[in-house]
């Protein structure tokens, strides 16, 4: 079922159809732009050794060089050439080694450590043993499809907080995924104010001004790993081994990788900021190209802030 059909079915009695149509067009445009950028990034990665020209990359995504350059700068806030630097192996290695660098934009908060900013605003609450074991039989879950810079996002929540965030390629897969996680829960398509807040945060159109609670189903080890991920600030990268050390189990890199691969909250719990020791980005539940896009976009954002301050 398409997004527009879901929206019209759920809201046709209370929302003007023109408003719904406008929303669907906006979501489709965002998704189209991301798909073009993702296709360009995939092409660059496959052909980086011969450094393809702007004209060649633009032709691959069926745009003129002028329109591709403009679209890329609107999306990433920087040029394709500069963006390529941010997703290069050498740059990733530099970030991993630069453990003493200081992030900007958090000085005003008065926090002694920038890594605590995100941690303070996002709190994990584990589901009860009963909720965990009975497939969410006592839970009512509301979900909706939101638009983001990195494709469409399914956001789901209970009365206690966000329980699921995932990038989706087909909106009908969203419900199937939630049902597989919570087979006995009552699942309803209903956009909540918190869902819109998550969309705004992913799109960098607003910051988290009040604590966001995550109501998660996971083992104690998984929860510990996910909490460690919350401490990685935007613009920083860590390895699986570093996360293992931080949770006090330095020999658990493989188990850490498995827990990260099970992360149920895309972007907000930033598993995309964990890469291999070699500097290679590695896998990602929602696709390696999307991981590359997010990492590059975050570094472009951080560097644009630095340029403005300097």
CA angle centred on 208, ends 235 and 123, rounded to 5°: 90
Strand-pair category, 140-146 with 186-189: parallel
Which of 229, 224, 215, 232 shows the shortest CA–CA distance to 181? 215
Q: How far is CA 258 from the centre of its chain?
A: 18
Write out the catalytic residue numbers: 271
Residue with tokens 């956001």: 155
Please give the Cα distance from 235 to 273 (Å, whole number).
8
């Amino acid at each position: 079922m398409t997004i527009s059909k879901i929206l019209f079915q759920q809201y046709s009695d209370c929302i003007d159809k023109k408003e719904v149509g406008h929303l669907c067009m906006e979501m489709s445009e965002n998704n189209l732009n991301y798909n073009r950028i993702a296709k360009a990034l995939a092409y660059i990665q496959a052909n980086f050794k011969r450094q393809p020209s702007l004209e060649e990359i633009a032709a691959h995504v069926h745009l003129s060089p002028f329109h591709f350059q403009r679209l890329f700068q609107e999306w990433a806030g920087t040029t394709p050439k500069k963006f390529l630097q941010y997703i290069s192996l050498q740059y990733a290695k530099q970030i991993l080694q630069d453990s003493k660098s200081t992030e900007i934009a958090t000085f005003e908060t008065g926090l002694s450590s920038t890594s605590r900013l995100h941690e303070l605003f996002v709190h994990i609450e584990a589901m009860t043993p009963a909720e965990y074991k009975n497939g969410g039989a006592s839970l009512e879950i509301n979900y909706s499809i939101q638009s983001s810079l990195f494709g469409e996002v399914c956001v789901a929540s209970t009365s206690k907080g966000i329980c699921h965030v995932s990038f989706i390629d087909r909106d009908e897969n969203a419900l199937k995924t939630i049902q597989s996680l919570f087979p006995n829960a009552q699942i309803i398509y209903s956009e909540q104010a918190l869902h819109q807040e998550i969309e705004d945060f992913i799109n960098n159109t607003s910051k988290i001004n009040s604590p966001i609670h995550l109501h998660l189903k996971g083992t104690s080890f998984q929860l510990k790993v996910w909490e460690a991920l919350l401490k990685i600030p935007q613009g920083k990268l860590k390895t699986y081994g570093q996360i293992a050390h931080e949770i006090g189990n330095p020999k658990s890199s493989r188990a850490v990788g498995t827990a990260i691969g099970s992360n149920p909250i895309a972007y907000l719990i930033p598993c995309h900021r964990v890469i291999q020791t070699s500097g290679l980005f590695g896998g990602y539940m929602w696709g390696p190209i999307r991981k590359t896009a997010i990492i590059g976009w975050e570094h472009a954002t951080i560097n644009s802030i630095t340029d403005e301050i300097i």
